[in-house]
Amino acid sequence: MSEFQFLMPDAGEGLTEAEVVSWKVAPGDVVELNQVIVEIETAKSLVELPSPYEGTVASILVTEGTTVDVGTPIITISAADAGGQAAAEVAPPTISTEFAEAVADTRGTVDDEAPGAVLVGYGDAGHVSSRRRARTRAVPPAARQASVPPAPGPVIAKPPIRKLAKDLGVNLSLVTGTGIGGEVTRDDVVREAGQASVFRNIETPEWGDTREERIPVKGVRKQIASAMVESAFKAPHVSLFVDVDATRTMEFIKRLKNSTDFAGVKVSPLLIMAKAMIWAVRRNPTVNAAWTDEEIIVRHFVNLGVAAATPRGLIVPNVKEAQAMTLLELAQALEQLTLTAREGKTPPADQQNGTITITNIGVFGMDTGTPILNPGEVAIVALGTIKQKPWVVDGEVRPRFVTTLGASFDHRVVDGDVASRFLADVASIIEEPALLLE
């Protein structure tokens, strides 16, 4: 009989500790090779760990809810061959590429109270549990009301719309289609999901019996605190703001929504903002750089970060090689980013190596703000809410769709003239998306 101790790996993230969230096995259980045995929570994600051994669980060394350092033994597995002799010795796992990839795959499950995260530009979707529950798709409260009868007749919706509804937990039979012949459109589904989220937040919760609540600083919150303190006090921030007439952007979005090329694809101001950022980066490359004390690294590619507010905290997944994507490819990539974040499945790799970031505080109804830089980057742009305001056009006051762009820069790298030109370039695309055709 041989006993193997499984050590807490670093999950391919370069982190130093992780919390044991839940055990999937108990002492005496027989486990197979690569069977999921435990779920851990790191500073960035929930991760299921597969067993590198097969045999019988001898003992569990770390209780649920305990945070331990990488390299700490967490479980002991006993193994023996059919003849009773010791199984072939396997060295305690130095994480192989294949195992690291498996470990780095995040599979958080959506809580049964809500459908997800807030990705910039896509609206609030409610609460997500950081702990795994039953493998069920989230369903909005409206969809669970047995007293509401389904809409009469068959639901008319294209396959991509049905998939979106499934991903968002929307019951299509309860959605009123606004398309031709009553067809359910993407906007109908997103609106239904958003309304369910809003209704959940109307009720003001009671404070409860305790006068204080103490929340341990760990996991994502600990990582956020560390990153924000490092960014705010290490990088000298400078911020700029500009009001922009976004009327043509809104008209362009409407045309894209009616285009057959973009059928079944989410189109929003975020898409145009993303393309504007990429265009402006090429004209002002130092905003896409990194500071290392010894040198400034200017990246000639764009891994575009999009801030996502989740109940587990702020994460910034990024679209890799965004500069090489067409408008349609970028729209699809942003949508996939949304769904992945909504389900709590954003892998650590998607949160690493970003080069510049967008944050859309407009989704919360805010006009502008002073965003803090994502560590390792030197520029971030905030997109405010887009709403109709009085605007002077050709000497006349007219109602126009107006937004405010706010941007922060690392003044060690980006001088005021470069920062101003960059933000002006972003604004010029929002004002006239046709410039993208240059």
What pLDDT shows up at residue 195? Answer: 55
Q: Which of 81, 104, 127 is the last residue of a domain?
A: 104
Specify the CATH number for the domain of residue 22.
2.40.50.100
* Residue (of 107, 93, 179, 173) closest to 344 by Cα position: 107
Angstrom distance (rounded) from CA 32 to CA 409: 51
348-370: average pLDDT: 90
For residue 220, CA distances in Å to 35, 102, 316 come to 26, 21, 12
Query: pLDDT band at 70, cuts 50/70/90?
Result: confident
Residue range 373-421, pLDDT digits in tens: 999 999 999 999 999 999 999 999 999 999 999 999 999 999 999 999 9
Sheet strand arrangement including 308-310? 118-119, 308-310, 313-315
- Residue 90, pLDDT above cutoff 70: no
- Residue 282, pLDDT above cutoff 90: yes
- Residue 425, pLDDT above cutoff 70: yes
Specify the CATH number for the domain of residue 421.
3.30.559.10
53 and 163, same domain (yes or no) = no
240 and 307, same domain (yes or no) = yes
The Cβ-side half-sphere exposure at 278, using a 13 Å CA radius, reads: 25
- Mark whether 411 is an active-site residue: yes
Assigned domain for 347 exists: yes
Query: pLDDT band at 278, cuts 50/70/90?
Result: very high
Angstrom distance (rounded) from CA 351 to CA 345: 11
Residue range 283-304, pLDDT digits in tens: 999 999 999 989 999 999 999 9
Assigned domain for 212 exists: no
Domain tally for the chain?
3
* Residue (of 74, 312, 86, 336) closest to 215 by Cα position: 312
67-77: average pLDDT: 89
249-275: average pLDDT: 92
Listed ranges 336-345, 360-369, 406-415; the one with the highest mean pLDDT = 406-415
What pLDDT shows up at residue 325? Answer: 96
Assigned domain for 133 exists: no
224 and 81, same domain (yes or no) = no
279 and 321, same domain (yes or no) = yes
Residue range 113-149, pLDDT digits in tens: 333 344 443 344 343 333 333 333 334 444 444 333 4
What pLDDT shows up at residue 43? Answer: 66
Assigned domain for 50 exists: yes
401 and 257, same domain (yes or no) = yes
How high does pLDDT run on average in the chain?
Answer: 79
191 and 275, same domain (yes or no) = no
147 and 253, same domain (yes or no) = no
What pLDDT shows up at residue 79? Answer: 79
Angstrom distance (rounded) from CA 337 to CA 429: 23
Residue range 14-46, pLDDT digits in tens: 667 888 888 999 999 999 888 889 988 776 667
Assigned domain for 131 exists: no
Angstrom distance (rounded) from CA 53 to CA 91: 10
Q: At what angle do helices 269-283 and 247-257 cross, to 10 degrees?
A: 120
Residue range 93-119, pLDDT digits in tens: 334 344 444 444 433 333 333 333 444
* Residue (of 159, 160, 154) closest to 175 by Cα position: 154
- Residue 63, pLDDT above cutoff 60: yes
Phi, psi of 110 (to 5 degrees): -70, 135
| Percentage, residues of the chain above pLDDT 70 | 77
Query: pLDDT band at 12, cuts 50/70/90?
Result: low
181 and 223, same domain (yes or no) = no
Q: Which of 77, 104, 131 is the last residue of a domain?
A: 104
What pLDDT shows up at residue 136? Answer: 36
269 and 394, same domain (yes or no) = yes
228 and 280, same domain (yes or no) = yes
148 and 98, same domain (yes or no) = no
Residue range 200-251, pLDDT digits in tens: 454 567 777 887 888 788 777 777 788 888 888 888 999 999 999 999 999 9
Q: Which of 200, 229, 251 is the last residue of a domain?
A: 200
Q: Pick the catalytic residue: 127, 237, 300, 411?
A: 411
366-373: average pLDDT: 92
What pLDDT shows up at residue 321? Answer: 97
Angstrom distance (rounded) from CA 134 to CA 22: 13
Tell the residue number behind the tokens 């109709």, with chain if given. 388
Assigned domain for 111 exists: no
- Lowest model confidence (mean pLDDT) among 16-25, 42-51, 361-370: 42-51
Query: pLDDT band at 167, cuts 50/70/90?
Result: confident
- Residue 13, pLDDT above cutoff 70: no
What pLDDT shows up at residue 143? Answer: 41
pTM above the 0.75 mark? no
Assigned domain for 376 exists: yes
* Residue (of 284, 344, 341) closest to 318 by Cα position: 341
The Cβ-side half-sphere exposure at 277, using a 13 Å CA radius, reads: 32
What pLDDT shows up at residue 322? Answer: 96
Query: pLDDT band at 311, cuts 50/70/90?
Result: low
Range(s) of the domain holding residue 409: 219-437
What pLDDT shows up at residue 88? Answer: 38
Assigned domain for 230 exists: yes
300 and 342, same domain (yes or no) = yes
CB 349 within 8 A of CB 316: no
* Residue (of 270, 268, 274) closest to 187 by Cα position: 268
